Structure 1
Amino acid sequence: MSSSSQRIEDSLRETIIARPDIILDDRDLMQALIAANERSMGGNIIDLRGIAMERLEARLDRLEDTHRSVIAAAYENLAGTNQVHRAILRMLDPIEFEPFLRDLGGDVAEILRVDAMRLVLESNAEDGARTVQRLGKVLSVAEQGFVARYLSAGGQAPLRQVTLRQVQTGDARIYGDRAAWIRSEACLKLDFGPGRLPGMLVMGAEDPHQFTPQQGTDLLAFFAGVFERTMRRWLS
Structure 2
Amino acid sequence: MSTRLPRAMSPMAEDLREKIISDPDMILDDLDVMRALIAANERTSGDNIVDLRGIAMERLEDRLDRLEDTHRGVIAAAYENLAGTNQIHRAVLRLLEPSDFKSFLTALSGDVANTLRVDAVRLLLETKVEDADPAVKKLGDVLITAEPGFIDTYITFGRNIPVRPVTLRQVSPEADLIYGTSAGYIHCEALMKLDLGAGRLPGLLIFGSEDPHMFRPAQGTDLLNFFSGVFERMMRRWLG
| Residue identity in the other structure for 1:196 | R
**Structure 1 runs, 4 residues or longer, greater than 3 Å off:** 5-8
In 2: Cα distance, 1:20 partner to 1:129 partner: 81
In 1: Cα distance, 2:8 partner to 2:195 partner: 84
Which of residues 165, 169, 192 in structure 1 aligns to 2:196? 192
2:224 match: 220
Question: How many positions carry a matched residue from both structures?
Answer: 236
Offset of 1:154 from its aligned partner? 3.1
Which of residues 96, 104, 112 in structure 1 aligns to 2:116? 112
When structure 1 is superposed on structure 2, of 45-54 and 153-162 the one drifting more is 153-162
1:137-170, Cα deviation, whole Å (9 max, x unpaired): 1001111111011001132354310000013777
1:116-154, Cα deviation, whole Å (9 max, x unpaired): 000000001436251200000100111111101100113
1:172 match: 176
Q: Is the 8 A contact 2:152 2:158 kept in 1?
A: no
Offset of 1:171 from its aligned partner? 1.0
Q: What are the ranges of 5 or more consecutive residues in structure 1 without an aligned counterpart?
A: none
Q: CA RMSD in A?
A: 1.9
In 2: Cα distance, 1:158 partner to 1:131 partner: 34
What TM-score results when the alignment is normalised by the length of structure 1? 0.94
Offset of 1:10 from its aligned partner? 1.1
| 2:215 is equivalent to residue 211 of structure 1 | yes
What TM-score results when the alignment is normalised by the length of structure 2? 0.93
Which of residues 125, 128, 132 in structure 2 aligns to 1:124? 128
| 2:94 is equivalent to residue 83 of structure 1 | no
1:1-236 matched pairs, under 5 angstroms: 3-4=6-7, 9-126=13-130, 128-167=132-171, 171-236=175-240
SS in 1 for 2:144: strand
Q: Is the 8 A contact 1:169 1:181 kept in 2?
A: no
| Residue identity in the other structure for 1:145 | G
In 1: Cα distance, 2:164 partner to 2:116 partner: 21
Q: What are the ranges of 5 or more consecutive residues in structure 2 without an aligned counterpart?
A: none
In 2: Cα distance, 1:4 partner to 1:167 partner: 78
